[in-house]
Structure 1
Amino acid sequence: MHRDPQVQLLLTGNEIMSGDTVDSNSALIAQRLADIGLGIYRKVTVGDDRALLCRELTAMASSADVLIVNGGLGPTVDDLTAVVLAEAAGVPLEEHPQAVAHLEAWCGRRNIPLDAANRKQAQLPAGSRIVDNAIGSAVGFELYLGKCRVICTPGVPGELRRMLDLIVDDLAAALTRPAQRHILRLQTFGLGESSAQQLINDAIPDWPAAVELGFRAGAPQMEIKLAVADAADLPLRERCEQRLRELVGDHIIGEGDTQLAAKVLELLSARGQTLTTAESCTGGLIASQLTRIPGSSQAFHAGFVTYANDIKSSVLGVSDATLASHGAVSEAVVREMALGALERARADYAIAVSGVAGPEGGTPDKPVGTVWLAWGTAEDLRTRCLLWPVERTLFQTMIAAAGLDMIRRQLLGLHSEPRYFAQRRAR
C-alpha cells in the first residue's frame, strides 16, 4: 500500500527561541502542504547552536521522508544551515556556481559589490541542488541525507512564500496518488471563530461530513476554509458555499488571499473612482495599507494624517468651534475631516477616523477604545461611533479595517449593517 511521505520541519534561529521573532513560517508551510494533502508529522525549533542543530537534523532525517529546514541561510556567522547539513552528510562545502551567479545578479540590481559576507551564501554542501529565491540573496538548496530529502529554505517570510510555490509543486508532482485536496478559502471581516461556528451550527445543522470546515482567525481578517478530498464532492462543496454566502455573505471579502485594501481598490478602479483618507488615531495605517498594493495610485491619490487638533483645522479645515464644542473624537469632527479631505484631494470617497487609542486619554464619556468613523461621498457621508477596547496596535488595525470595510460595503451597495456594529456599539 502506498504511504504518503512523512514531512518534518526544523526551524532555526535564536530570535525565534527568544520570542524576538514570532514564528509564522511554520504555519505558512503547513498551510501550503495541506493544499496537496500533506501534513507536518513533527516540528522542532532549535537555536543557533551548531552541535545541537547537527544532532537534531540527523535524527529527524533518519525518520522523515522530507525534512524542511527553515532559516539560517544568510551571510552572518550565526547562519549555520549549510555548514550543518554538510557536516551531517559528510561532504565538504563548495562554492556553487549557480548560487554565485544568483548573488552577482542580486547585487548588480542593487548596484552594490558582492562582498565576502554575501559570498558566504554560495558556500553549499557538495552535491546540493539549488531552489531559486526570486526575492532574496540566499538561494534555497536541497540534498539527500540517506533516504531523506532535506530542503533548506530562507527565514524571511516573503522569500519563503515565493519559494514554497516551487517546493510544493515539486512535492505534488512526486506523489503517486491524486495530489490535491480541493480547497476554497474565503476571507472575511467582522466575524469571530466562535460566532461564525455557532451561526453555521444553527443555520446549517446538516453540514455534510465530506466537506471539511475550518477557520483561521487573524487580525483583522478571518479565513473560512471549505475542503473536499474527492473531486466528485465539488458540487457538494459548492452547495455549502452557497448556503454560507446566504448566511454571512456580506462579511465575505473575497477568495484566496484577498485583503480588504485590495478589494476596495479593485472596486474603485472598476468604477474609475478615487478614495482619500483623513486619519487621526490610526496614524496613516489605512493609507499605508492601500499604498502597499501595486497600482494603488489609480484609485488612491492622497491621504491626510491629522493627529493634533490644530492640524485638523489648518490642513482639513475642521472648525475650531466644532473642536471646542464637540471634541476631537466626535461625529461632527469626523464629518468635517472627511469633507475637508474630499475637497482637497478631489476624491469621490473618503474615510475619516478619530478615536481614543489608549492606553491613556479616556474619559467616562469617551473611554479608551472609542472611535468615530465617517465614510462615503460628500452627498452620502455616513458615520458611526464604535467601542473597540483592545490594545493600542490591535485597535488601530481593527479600526483601519472597519473603515475600509464600510467603503467596500457602500461600493457594493450592501445595506445590512455588519454584525460588529451591534457588538461594538458605543454605550
Structure 2
Amino acid sequence: MRCEILAVGTEILLGDIVNTNAQYISKRLSEEGIFVYHQSVIGDNPERLKQAYELAFSRADLVITTGGLGPTKDDLTKEIAFEYFGMRSVCHEESLNQIKEYFEKINKPLGKTNEKQAYFPEEAIVLKNNNGTAPGCILEEAGKVLVMLPGPPREMKAMFEESVIPYLRKYSKEILVSKILRVIGVGESAAAELIGDLIDNENPTVAPYAKEGEMIFRITARAESEEVANKLIAPVEAEIRSILGDNIYGEGETTLEDVLGSILVGKGLTIATAESCTGGMVAARLINYPGISASILEGAVTYSNEAKIRRLGVKEETLNSFGAVSEETAIEMAKGIASTSGADIGIATTGIAGPGGGTEEKPVGLVYIAVYYNNEVEVRKLNLSGNRQRVRERAATAVIDMVRRKLL
C-alpha cells in the first residue's frame, strides 16, 4: 500500500513549528509494512490544499493528513476533503456531545465555531479524540483511503495508535522489524566496507547511517510475524558483531553514557572528571545515567592554569614546558583528579576548541584526553574539525568511549 503524508499548516511552512508528526507516522507505518512514498506540507489555503489532495491520490492509495481540524476559519482540511470526495457533512452527535463535555470540564462556554469540529459525512469513520476537541476521521472511496488527524502531536499520536493502526492492519500482510546497532570508532565508509556484501541483502536489509561522532546500522526484516523477522535478523546481527567487535557499543536508543554508566555501577567503580576545553560536558553526560550517583564522585572544570595547579596538582613546570594543551598536562590532570577525589578512575580533557587560540604547532581542534585506572594512564591525541561546540562534543564522546573500552 502506497502512502503519502500531508501536513497542513502555514506555521509549518514558516518554520514556526517542526513537523515531527510526519516522522512519527512514517516510522510507525514502516513497522506495519506500509511504506510512505511522499511527504508534503501545505499552507492553510483552500485551492492549494485541493491540488495537494489531487496530486496525493494520483500517486498513493492512502493519504494521511495532520492539522487543520480546529475551529477557526483557516482550519480547512476536512471541508476541502469532503468537497474533493463529493460528500456532504452532517452533525455527528457523539462527537458534539464529547466536545460539550470537554468544555464543561474546563468551565468554558462552547462556541459556535467549535461545533463545526463535530461535522462529518455519514460515510466517515469518526475517530474519537481523547486528548482534545478535534475528532479525526477516515474516508474510503473507490479504493482510496483518507485518514485525517489533529495537528498537536499529543492528540495525533494517541489517535493514531488507538484507532488508525488497528484500522490499517487489514491492508498489511507483512510487518517490518528493525534492530539498531550503535557503532563508534569506525567511520561510515570504513564500516560499510567492513560489512561488505551484507549491505546488498534484500531481506533483511542492512543500512548504515552516520550520526554525530558515531554510526548506526539498521537491520530490517520483512516477515509475516515478529518471531519470523527476528529469526531473519539474528544471523546477520551475529555476523556484523563478529566483524565490528567492541566498536558496537549498544542497541536501539541506548546512549554511550548509558553503557558506561551501567559498566561503572555494575563493577562498583568510582569515577571523577577533570575538564578544560569540554567545560563539564563529560560529567553532564555521565549524570544522564540513572543511578550514576553510586559511581561518579565529582567533576572539576579546571579551565585556567591556576585551577589545574591548585585543584589537580598539575606541576607548574609541566605547564611552562609543555603548555596546558599537551599530553603531559592531560596525564597529570587525570592522575590529579583521581588522587584528590579518591576515585578509581580519573579522566581528563584539555584542548583548543576555537575559533581562536590555535597556532601552527597547536591548531584549533587539537585535544588531549586521558584516563587513569589501576595506576596506569592512557592518553590520546585528537585532531578534531568543526566549530567550537562540535569539537567539545566529539572530545567528550571520545573520552567516554575510551573509558568504556578500557573497562570491557
State the TM bucket, normalised to the shorter chain.
Answer: 0.7 to 0.9
The answer on whether the counterparts of 1:66 and 1:150 sit within 8 Å (CA) in structure 2 is no
2:331 to 320, 330, 335: 335
Matches of 2:215 and 2:155 in 1, distance apart?
22
Q: Which amino acid aligns with 2:29?
A: L
Aligned match of 1:188: 183
> TM-score when scaled to structure 2?
0.76
Q: 1:274: how far off?
A: 2.8
Matches of 1:341 and 1:257 in 2, distance apart?
31
The answer on whether the counterparts of 2:69 and 2:78 sit within 8 Å (CA) in structure 1 is no
SS of the aligned residue for 1:357 comes to coil
Give unpaired runs (5+ residues) of structure 2.
Answer: 83-88, 120-125
Q: 1:19: how far off?
A: 6.1
1:142 to 136, 159, 168: 136
Q: 1:251: how far off?
A: 0.9
Distance 1:100 1:129, change over 3 A: farther
Q: 1:261: how far off?
A: 0.9
The answer on whether the counterparts of 1:132 and 1:140 sit within 8 Å (CA) in structure 2 is no
Aligned match of 2:391: 395
Residues 175-201 of structure 1: per-residue CA shift (max 9 Å, x gap): 354442232211111223222111222
**What is the alpha-carbon root mean square deviation over aligned residues?**
4.1
Q: 1:40: how far off?
A: 1.3
SS of the aligned residue for 1:351 comes to strand
Q: 1:402: how far off?
A: 1.0
Aligned match of 1:152: 150
Q: Which amino acid aligns with 2:180?
A: R
Q: Which amino acid aligns with 1:189?
A: I
1:360 to 356, 362, 371: 356
Distance 1:246 1:220, change over 3 A: same
Matches of 1:300 and 1:374 in 2, distance apart?
17
The answer on whether the counterparts of 2:3 and 2:63 sit within 8 Å (CA) in structure 1 is yes
Distance 1:17 1:205, change over 3 A: closer
Q: Which amino acid aligns with 2:137?
A: L
Aligned match of 1:42: 38
Matches of 1:53 and 1:294 in 2, distance apart?
49
Q: 1:331: how far off?
A: 1.5
Matches of 1:100 and 1:301 in 2, distance apart?
52
Aligned match of 2:122: none
Matches of 2:211 and 2:332 in 1, distance apart?
33
Task: Name the % identity.
Answer: 31
Aligned ranges for residues 235-246 of structure 1 at < 5 Å? 235-246=231-242
The range that moved more, 62-71 or 186-195, is 62-71
The answer on whether the counterparts of 2:187 and 2:214 sit within 8 Å (CA) in structure 1 is no
> TM-score when scaled to structure 1?
0.73
Aligned match of 1:7: 3
1:96 has 2:90 as partner: no
Aligned match of 1:415: none
The answer on whether the counterparts of 1:140 and 1:153 sit within 8 Å (CA) in structure 2 is no
1:215 has 2:174 as partner: no
The answer on whether the counterparts of 2:129 and 2:155 sit within 8 Å (CA) in structure 1 is no
Aligned match of 1:350: 346
Residues 117-156 of structure 1: per-residue CA shift (max 9 Å, x gap): xx9xx999227645667xxxx798633356411123546x
Aligned match of 1:225: 218
Distance 1:241 1:356, change over 3 A: same
Residues 93-137 of structure 1: per-residue CA shift (max 9 Å, x gap): 978367669x97xxxxxxxxx999xx9xx999227645667xxxx
Aligned match of 1:110: none
The range that moved more, 322-331 or 27-36, is 27-36
Q: 1:303: how far off?
A: 1.9
1:279 has 2:275 as partner: yes
Matches of 1:306 and 1:115 in 2, distance apart?
56
Aligned match of 2:117: 125
The range that moved more, 25-34 or 182-191, is 25-34
Q: Which amino acid aligns with 1:286?
A: V
Matches of 2:116 and 2:175 in 1, distance apart?
32
